[in-house]
Amino acid sequence: MKTRAAVAWEANKPLTIETINLDGPRAGEVLVEIMATGVCHTDAYTLSGLDSEGKFPAILGHEGAGIVREVGAGVTSVRPGDHVIPLYTPECRQCKTCLSQRSNLCTAIRSTQGQGLMPDSTSRFSCSDETVFHYMGTSTFSNFTVLPEIAVAKVREDAPFDKICYIGCGVTTGVGAVIHTAKVWPGANVVVFGLGGIGLNVIQAARMVGADKIIGVDLNPSKVAMAKKFGMTHFVNPDEVGRDKVVEAIVDLTGGGADFSFECIGNVHTMRQALECCHRGWGESIVIGVAPSGAEISTRPFQLVTGRVWKGSAFGGARGRTDVPKIVDWYMEGKINIDDLITHTMPLEEINTAFDLMHEGKSIRSVVVF
């Protein structure tokens, strides 16, 4: 079939809207009509050329929601008409990791996914005979996309696509990092580096679980109003306190250091600050931000010897097919706020504006509606 999609032909070039070829779903795969997709900073990161797994040309996008239109042979868990959220972290429920119940990082299709291919090592996308790669196994910047059955979460049908698409990455990543990865306790002091589409979801989850101080750190003061609305109690602007005084400022504010910190920027310097502002003996720092290929983190080992813990979180530690439908329920029950974080909505033709707004610091989330 033909489908309309935004194609990333090469790094650092605007996406172009094309009518491309899409092969139908093979065994174990489903065809999904994407109704809406968010634009996450990770899409911009890959487009910047700094992603070691970035391949071009590709259809980017990993924060979508849509409707199953066709299923391949052997598919049993979804059928045409089902509403789904694509999962860049699938859940096969059979691999060593899924069976371990210790991690959400399902390994069933990770290697082909990182090569921009479907599990049978081929692509379903092409444009004028040229292969176009998949991205993160999802490619939601296409009106129709093909996904492995294990990479879709079936969700309730009364949930609006233009809001729940954000659960496909940002909401689950931020909320999940608090509840699954860190397991933040009531009364904890929490610090959030980066008040963007991920950091604000960390903030709303920290408030939800009853955190005490919720301290936000950002260079952009225009993020403060929204962060306060979501639960931020204190703000640290590194340009005001001094970029080398951020740790000191947080240790002062928390009376000794944070119980939990979350790095939601993707900068190795702020990752170090996030660890070092944690409380001696028990403070845990969770790395969420994705740093450029080749970047490395460092700290004095003494920071770890004296009890601080450095952890990472992918997709908020959530098991997609199990946890994503529950997060959709939380949204529908008014337990989490998604609507206010979606600051811009646009048609596919204007998708490059979403990247511009993100780089200019003017949006929290832009959502493309097909």
What is the per-residue burial (b if ≥16 Cβ within 10 Å, else e) of 262-283?
Answer: bbbbbbbbbbbbbbbbbbeeeb
Interface residue with ligand NAD, options 92, 127, 290, 369 (CB under 6 A) = 290
| C-beta nearest to Zn ion: residue | 40
Start-to-end CA distance of the chain, whole Å, equals: 17
Residue 138 interacting with ligand NAD (CB under 6 A):
no
Q: Is residue 234 annotated as part of the catalytic site, yes or no?
A: no
The interface mask with ligand AHE, positions 206-225, x = CB under 6 A, is --------------------
- Whether residue 141 contacts residue 348, with contact meaning beta carbons closer than 8 Å, is answered with yes
Give the whole-angstrom CA distance, residue 174 versus residue 206. 9
- Partner from Zn ion, ligand AHE, ligand NAD, none contacting 293, C-beta within 5 to 8 A by type: ligand AHE
**Could you write out the DSSP letters of every residue in 68-123?**
EEEE-TT--S--TT-EEEE-SS---S-SHHHHHTS-S---TTHHHHHTT--TTS--
> If residue 31 lies in a helix (H) or strand (E), which one and from where to where?
strand 29-39
Q: Is residue 98 annotated as part of the catalytic site, yes or no?
A: yes
Q: Is residue 165 annotated as part of the catalytic site, yes or no?
A: no
Of the pair 56, 88, the CB lying nearest Zn ion is at: 88
The tally of CA atoms less than 13 A away on the side-chain side of residue 247 is 15
**Active-site hit among 18, 29, 63, 263:** 63
* SS3 call for 23: coil
Give the whole-angstrom CA distance, residue 263 versus residue 194. 7
Residue 47 interacting with ligand AHE (CB under 6 A):
no
Where residue 139 falls (left for φ over 0; alpha for ψ -120 to 50; beta otherwise) is left
Residue 41 interacting with ligand NAD (CB under 6 A):
yes
Of the pair 105, 209, the CB lying nearest ligand AHE is at: 105
Interface residue with ligand NAD, options 83, 124, 223, 279 (CB under 6 A) = 223
Closest contact distance (angstroms) between CB of 74 and ligand NAD is 30
**Active-site hit among 69, 95, 97, 112:** 95
Stretch that binds ligand NAD, among 48-56, 118-126, 144-152, 167-175 (CB under 6 A): 167-175
- Whether residue 63 contacts residue 140, with contact meaning beta carbons closer than 8 Å, is answered with yes
Closest contact distance (angstroms) between CB of 160 and ligand NAD is 21
Residue 244 interacting with ligand AHE (CB under 6 A):
no
Could you tell me whether strands 260-263 and 190-193 are parallel, antiparallel, or unpaired per DSSP bridges?
parallel
Q: Is residue 180 annotated as part of the catalytic site, yes or no?
A: no
Cα 30 vs. chain centroid, distance in angstroms? 22
Closest contact distance (angstroms) between CB of 48 and ligand AHE is 12
Q: Is residue 278 annotated as part of the catalytic site, yes or no?
A: no
Question: What is the number of other CB atoms lying within 10 angstroms of the CB of residue 225?
Answer: 9
Looking at residues 11 to 50 of the shown chain, list those that interact with Zn ion (rule: CB under 5 A): 40, 42
**Could you write out the DSSP letters of every residue in 127-140?**
ETTEEEB-STTT-T
Residue 53 interacting with ligand AHE (CB under 6 A):
yes
Closest contact distance (angstroms) between CB of 136 and ligand AHE is 7
> If residue 152 lies in a helix (H) or strand (E), which one and from where to where?
strand 152-155
Residues tagged active-site: 40-42, 62-63, 92, 95, 98, 106, 110, 169, 365
Residues that bind ligand AHE (CB under 6 A): 40, 42, 51-53, 89, 105, 110, 169, 290, 293, 314-315
Residues that bind ligand NAD (CB under 6 A): 40-42, 45, 169-170, 173, 193-199, 217-220, 223, 238, 264-267, 270, 288-290, 313-315, 358, 361
